[in-house]
Structure 1
């Protein structure tokens, strides 16, 4: 809180927090109106905010530097706010576009969500901004509405064609659970996920790499999925029945589009199978499904990379029950479901493998299912 007053010369009216996320299973299904299973991380973006009497938005990030980005709410234009500030600016723009007239605000951000790691640092910024502005302006937005505003900001203001998984996870996950979310209507169920009680740990391996073609590759994958849905005459790939998948795939002439469709449809099925195992109290059995999902992302969807494959293969060989890349791909992070007693061996093996490949040491930490966006005590 002191940082806010030092920067802006006034005390904040409040403080809010929104977390990053890890997706347990269900990758590249959200923009196909499918199913996902994320959990919120303990890492979060915190915003301290003072309401202003004018229409000026002043933004400052502790993590980027001392500069204050000053903007007018009356002159926000998509694509013109570069870098990290585009995310909170985009949220203000999206709220105004939705018909909410905002007061200006001074906002100070501090985040410990790793950037470029596929852990939704941008969604955390979007959701914490949306929640703070909603409460300060008396908008009363629901979790789903906050997520939609964040997605609109990222899609139409920043220019990244993401689905809604990240924003919904940040807005609505709860401690000790994964969120089984239907991205068609945003209905969901919190599924208990207490790995420690089962003698398990979910490790995150942040490879610390992001390949240059990541953003363009994401957009191409989305277009290929849309082409697949059009070829099959369905609104979204979520509507392709798994039981008839082989026959449906045979109707697609383009081999690349065929593989994209196969990944999405089988990934939706994997989400259902993982949820069934968790509901049955058999969490150890989800490991092979995580690895199966990674192979599908690597081979059919082609969004993995050598560093992610190295993390997954090494973790599995060292004792993990299953591993997969998480997030959009082309770099970022992998997750590994590991028996508690095998954590040191898996950690050491992954670090040694990266060193042996001449790569920088990855960041390895435990993913603990945590709370979603909320107001903090000042």
Structure 2
């Protein structure tokens, strides 16, 4: 992203020691499975958070964002406490806190950030901020941490410092994804495989429909779903819902008395199975077959987990009616974005149909753009 290093110099009086980037992500399939130690299949987006950073040795952390008119936020690294930093600055500050809590000697930094990842769109703008900060500090302070280790520390920053009980998928996708691939991730042990995902080669396109309905995962609804899933695991006597197979789902549901918990468990177990089916289709070269799995996943998110909204449902319905191969909401829900798998020749028509449906429903115009698997976090200079 042009100008970040020069802007750093104008802010802080000298050029940065380096510039780093970390992408947002879109999740193809596997929603609300990551904090249940399950499976996910995200891909990195071309949209990135970029950070120009220099070390400090005086215990001062200075943070600035091109995108937020707050001026420079000045913090004392030794005084960082969970919940103590408001707004956007909590994400990079939380990473510094998490690194220091883990015993790493981070003595301060000057940071200037800029991001093209849409906020509130379910595309992991927060994870991009966390991962780019973690990667920069890892390099500058010579911490020697692996990409998965950085992702886990970034997740801890969001969980414990910011207060959002997210799983690790977003941070792992931002840290570890590679260009032209989706990331098949086992969130229990963080093992992963890069899965070729070159849609253009088979005449397909993946569209993202940003409904522009902002979602706020810290408002309690996300945490309530997580708590319900954990209650289901306890009731079934398992460590996590990933241990409940689709073959034994009926028996498991019969042992649960709470209807809400039953719905949550059904979604998680069937979405883990949908990740496995999607992976098998991709490995077999049947990319078109993934479309039906996406639409099935949306129904589960809408009806069992109940995290969709009118705009997301309309995006999926309008896309499918216009000839898409399949579509579903992606991310935490309650707004945000949908993904649409479509023949390349139909992509423009489907995008227009979705936009027209929103106009007819008197919704704000959606933002529709292609999702092309992009590189993960990296040093730019």
What's the TM-score, normalizing by structure 2? 0.98
User: C-alpha offsets along residues 231-250 of structure 1, whole Å, 9 cap, x if unaligned?
Assistant: 11000000012111101110
Corresponding residue number in structure 2 for 1:183 = 187
1:8 and 2:18 equivalent? no
User: C-alpha offsets along residues 224-274 of structure 1, whole Å, 9 cap, x if unaligned?
Assistant: 001100111000000012111101110100111001000000000000000
1:234 and 2:238 equivalent? yes
CA distance in 2, matches of 1:66, 1:247: 54
Q: 1:309 aligns with which of 309, 313, 316?
A: 313
Corresponding residue number in structure 1 for 2:91 = 87
Corresponding residue number in structure 2 for 1:221 = 225
User: C-alpha offsets along residues 303-323 of structure 1, whole Å, 9 cap, x if unaligned?
Assistant: 000010000000010011000
CA distance in 1, matches of 2:218, 2:373: 27
Gaps of at least 5 residues in structure 1 are none
Corresponding residue number in structure 2 for 1:171 = 175
Q: Is the 8 A contact 1:214 1:330 kept in 2?
A: no
Corresponding residue number in structure 1 for 2:365 = 361
1:134 and 2:138 equivalent? yes
Q: Is the 8 A contact 1:22 1:40 kept in 2?
A: yes
Q: CA deviation at 1:213?
A: 7.7
Corresponding residue number in structure 1 for 2:122 = 118
Q: Is the 8 A contact 2:207 2:339 kept in 1?
A: yes
Q: What's the secondary structure of 2:61's corresponding residue?
A: strand
Q: CA deviation at 1:53?
A: 2.7
Q: 1:265 aligns with which of 237, 247, 269?
A: 269
Q: 2:103 aligns with which of 99, 103, 106?
A: 99
Distance 1:211 1:110, change over 3 A: closer
User: C-alpha offsets along residues 324-368 of structure 1, whole Å, 9 cap, x if unaligned?
Assistant: 000000000000001011111111111111111111111100000
Q: What's the secondary structure of 2:157's corresponding residue?
A: helix
Where in structure 2 are the equivalents of 1:1-378 lying within 5 Å? Answer: 1-65=5-69, 67-210=71-214, 215-377=219-381
User: C-alpha offsets along residues 51-90 of structure 1, whole Å, 9 cap, x if unaligned?
Assistant: 1231100000001125000001110011010000000000
Aligned length: 377
Q: CA deviation at 1:220?
A: 0.2
Q: Is the 8 A contact 1:214 1:329 kept in 2?
A: no
Q: Is the 8 A contact 2:121 2:215 kept in 1?
A: no
